Structure 1
Amino acid sequence: MKGFKLSLVAMVLALGACASNPKSPSADATPANTVKEEGTAGAVVAENSFEQRDKFESYNRAVFAFNMRLDRWLLKPAAKGYKWLAPEPVEVGVSNFFSNLSEISNVVNDVLQWKWKQAGNDTGRFLVNTTVGVAGIFDVARHAGLEKAAGEDFGQTLAVWGVPQGPYFLLPFLGPSTVTATVGMPVDWYTNPVSYIDDSATSWTVKGVNILQSRAQLLETEKLAKGGDFYIFVRDAYLQRRDFLVKDGQVEDDFGGDFGGEEEGFDF
Structure 2
Amino acid sequence: MINTIRFKVTACLVLGLFLTGCASTKTNNQNGPYDPLEPMNRAVFNFNEMVYDNVFDPVARGYKKVTPDPIELVVGNFFSNLNDVVVITNSVLQLNYKSALASSTRLLINTTFGIFGLIDIASDISAASDINLNKRNEDFGQTLGHYGVASGPYIVLPFLGPSSARDTFGIAVDGFFMDPVTQGVTGVFMKDVAYLNTTALRLPVAAARTINARAQFLDDDKTLEEAALDKYEFTRDAYLQRRTSLVNNSSEAK
Name the structure 2 match of 1:237. 238
Q: Percent same amino acid at aligned positions? A: 41
Q: Find 1:173's aligned residue among 159, 175, 188.
A: 159
CA distance in 2, matches of 1:150, 1:120: 11
Residues 245 and 253 in structure 2, CA contact (< 8 A), matched pair in contact too: no
With structure 2 as the length reference, what TM-score do the two structures score? 0.77
Contact 2:99 2:136 in 1 (8 A): no
- 2:56 maps to 75
**How much has 1:48 moved relative to structure 2?**
5.2
SS where residue 101 of structure 2 aligns? helix
The number of residue pairs the alignment matches comes to 207
- The 3-state SS of whatever aligns with 2:181 is helix
Question: What is the Cα deviation at residue 224 of structure 1?
Answer: 1.8
Alpha-carbon separation, structure 2, partners of 1:58 and 1:90: 41
**What SS does the corresponding residue of 2:99 show, helix, strand or coil?**
helix
Aligned to 1:247: 248
Question: For the residues of structure 1 that align with 2:242 and 2:155, how far apart are their CA atoms?
Answer: 14
One-letter amino acid of the structure 2 residue matched with residue 95 of structure 1: G
Relative contact order, CA 8 A, sep 6+: which one is greater? 1
Per the alignment, residue 186 of structure 1 pairs with 172
Q: Which ranges of structure 1 fall in alignment gaps of 5 or more residues? A: 4-46, 250-259, 264-268
Q: Which runs of 5+ in 2 are unaligned?
A: 1-5, 7-29, 127-131, 188-195
TM-score by length of structure 1 reads: 0.73
Which residue of 1 is the match for residue 112 of structure 2? 131
Higher-helix-fraction structure: 2
One-letter amino acid matched to 1:141: A
Q: Aligned partners of 2:87, 2:200: CA distance in 1, in Å?
A: 26
Matched, 1:90 2:71: yes
Aligned-residue CA RMSD (Å): 1.9
Query: Alpha-carbon deviation of 1:262?
Result: 6.0
Aligned to 2:191: none
Once the two structures are TM-superposed, the CA of residue 237 in structure 1 deviates from its matched residue by 1.0
Amino acid at match of 1:137: L
List per-residue Cα deviations over 1:222-245 (Å, max 9, x = no partner).
Answer: 222124111101111111111111
Partner secondary structure for residue 49 of structure 1: coil
Task: State the Cα deviation string for residues 49-93 of structure 1 (Å, max 9, x = none).
Answer: 12xx11110110111011000000000000000001110000000
Residue equivalent to 1:103: 84
* Contact map agreement 1:150 1:262 (CA 8 A) in 2: no
